[in-house]
Structures are given as structure tokens and as C-alpha cells.
Structure 1
Amino acid sequence: MEHEQRLIILSRDGVINEDRGVIATPDDWVALPDSLKAIARLNRAHFRVVVATNQPGIMQGKLNVFDLNAIHKKMHEEVEAAGGYIEAVFFCPHTPDAGCSCRKPSPTMLQEIADRFEVPLNEVIYVGDTINDMNAAQRAGCQPFLVLTGQGNMTYAKGDVPDAAHVRVNLAAVVKELVGVV
């Protein structure tokens, strides 16, 4: 019997790894407790895991695409060491004032992911920690989850959370709700 695969999109900084401002080197990338195991649990429950991340440090000259690839190589290796797999990473290299259409809170990046994986956006779960994440998910029609890691506590305290968003303490709590014990 074949299992149906669902798509979950994760923001990177503040959801998978510590939000330390601009992550410019692999050494700057530090996984949050239990996030890597949570991704592995998603995979075992037949979720396809994709990352969507704003990376304005590229346009600001604080890192380049080679640096970003090295950071993501470390992320992939650590996720795989925990038994998980991230299928793709989508990123926007622009600053907020660049006027691009790919930067969250625009829904464009999420739409591109859904198109690439041939999944209707209303069936996609999106996990983020910022108001930009929640707005992108809401505009795209995804099922939003706000985690209180990264900037999530501040986002929640400001009351910027859309009514449709589920608020959970961290990615592991989201996964526990979605898949139970796997």
C-alpha cells in the first residue's frame, strides 16, 4: 500500500536553526534542540519537507550564494545524520526594500514550491516564526503554524498572529500534533 505524501514548508532561521541575525558561515548555523529529529519524524510520516527562507544578507554583501550553499550543505548533513531529509531549499536573496516578488511576506515563493511539487496550496502546511512567515502563508492559502522559537515569542506577543495560525512552542510540538509518535 502506497502512502500519500503531504508537503510541509519550513522557514529556516528560528524554526530549524537558531535565529542569529545573518547566518554567514556554516559555523553560524546551529540547529535548535529537537528540530532535526522533528524533520526525521515528518519524513517517516510521509511528509515531503521543503525550506523557504529570506536571505537578505546576500544582497547586503554579508554572504554569497557559495556561502549559502555551504550553510545548507551543513543543514542537510545534520538533518540526514538525524535520519531525515530536506527535499529542496528555496530562498530570496533580496532586502525588504528591493521590491522583489519572491521575498516573504509575498506568497510567490510558497506558490513556486507548491507548483514544483504539484500540491494545492490549501493542502500545504507552513511553519514559521515571523509575521512575514504568517502573512506569506495566509496570502498563499497554506495552513500556518507559528512556532515560539526564533522571533516567534515576539511575533506572538505583538498580537500579529492571523486567526488561522496554530501556535506551538517549537517545530517538535508541531510535528507531534501532525503525526503523533512516529
Structure 2
Amino acid sequence: MSDLLRPAAFLDRDGVLNLDIGYAHRPEQIVWLPNVSSAIRYLNEAGYYVFVVTNQAGVARGYYDEAAVQTLHVWMQEQLRQDGAHVDDWRYCPYHPDGTVVAYRRDDDWRKPSPGMILDLARCWPIDMAGSFLIGDRASDLEAAAAAGIKGHLANAAGLLDQVRHLTSDRSK
């Protein structure tokens, strides 16, 4: 089984893949950040799994439903595939302790800074956690990475492609 293990890049969505406008849930709201598809394609070609882990409190706040999140992720995947890139799996947390939708008003171990989404992916995929990392745009992302036992990095102003090239170059040494 160890031959099947591959490192993973866990990516937050809003603020890492797309401009964080607050509660984006429709394709027309997505403004891709520069070189995102190139960065994901680079990770794909370098042998990394690519996972998106995103808090989606807009569900708990009643701004949109889970179907909207899933539909958006399908659309995002289609856009990435047009550029020869793909995300291997997606996780989102619809819960928030201050939610207005009762069914989603709770704290949950999938909600970052808890590591639940990362750990769930680690149970479902043969991931080399020691070689894996997370890129996020908030301290809660870094806390989730640390709690899952992987390295966490804030999104780099130079762009995702330069950042993943740098992070994966360490692996080849």
C-alpha cells in the first residue's frame, strides 16, 4: 500500500482559488485568482493529490443551500478541466455556531480551524501526510493544518503557481 501513497495539496477555496467576495455561491460570482489552473495542473503533473477544503457558513446563515455549493464546485471543476487541471476531491463545511438555519447551527469538527475535512480526506485517500501541505488565507486554515499534522502556509501574494512550485521543490531534494 505504501507505493500508492501520494502527497496532497489541500487548498482553501475563497481567497486562494478565487477572489473572496464573501459568500460566493454562483459561477458569475467567481473571479479566479491568477494562475490557479496552472498551479493545480502543476500539482496534478507533480503527482500530488489536490483537495479543496472550504468553510461555507453561507449555508448556515441561509444565504444559499448545499446544492448551490455542490453545483458551484462542479462548475469550478469543469472550468479547471478546460485548462487541463483537476481537483481530486472537495470538502466543505456548511455549519456555523451562529447560523440562522437551525439544522446547520452548530460547531462541527469539519469547520476550520478544526481538522475534520482534512482528516476525512486522509481516511478516504492514500495520502502521504508527511509530504502534504495546506494553503489558506486565514489563521484558521493554518490551525486546521497543524491539527491534522501537516504544514500550513498562507496564500502568497506572488500567486499560487509560484507558491506551489516552491513548496514542491522541497520534495524533490
- Which amino acid in structure 1 is aligned with residue 82 of structure 2? A
Q: Deviations over 1:123-153 (max 9, x none)?
A: 321111101101111111111121145xxxx
In structure 1, stretches of 5+ residues that fail to align are 150-168
Quote how far apart the aligned CAs of 1:42 are: 0.7
Q: 1:126 to 1:66 in 2, by over 3 A?
A: same
TM-score by length of structure 1 reads 0.81
Question: Which of the numbers 148, 159, 163 marks the counterpart of 1:170?
Answer: 159
**Residue of structure 2 equivalent to 1:62:** 63
Whether the 8 Å contact between 1:145 and 1:174 is mirrored in structure 2 is: no
Residue in structure 2 matched with residue 147 of structure 1 by the alignment: 155
- The Cα shift of 1:179 comes to 4.1
Judge conservation of contact 1:3–1:46 (CA < 8 Å) in 2.
Answer: no
Over the residues paired in the alignment, what is the CA RMSD in angstroms? Answer: 1.9
Kindly, what percent of the aligned residue pairs are identical?
31
Distance 1:120 1:48, change over 3 A: closer
CA distance in 2, matches of 1:50, 1:100: 19
CA contact (8 A) 1:104 1:133 kept: yes
* Structure 2 CA distance for aligned equivalents of residues 122 and 45 of structure 1: 16
Contact kept, 8 Å, 1:51 with 1:88, in 2: the verdict is yes
On the 8 A contact 1:107/1:140 being kept in 2, the answer is yes
Look up the SS of the partner of 2:60 in the other structure.
coil
Q: Which residue of 2 aligns with 1:136?
A: 144
| TM-score normalised per structure 2 | 0.85
Distance 1:143 1:96 in 2: 27
Matches within 5 A, 1:1-182: 5-97=6-98, 98-148=106-156, 169-179=158-168
Structure 2, gaps ≥5 residues long: 99-105
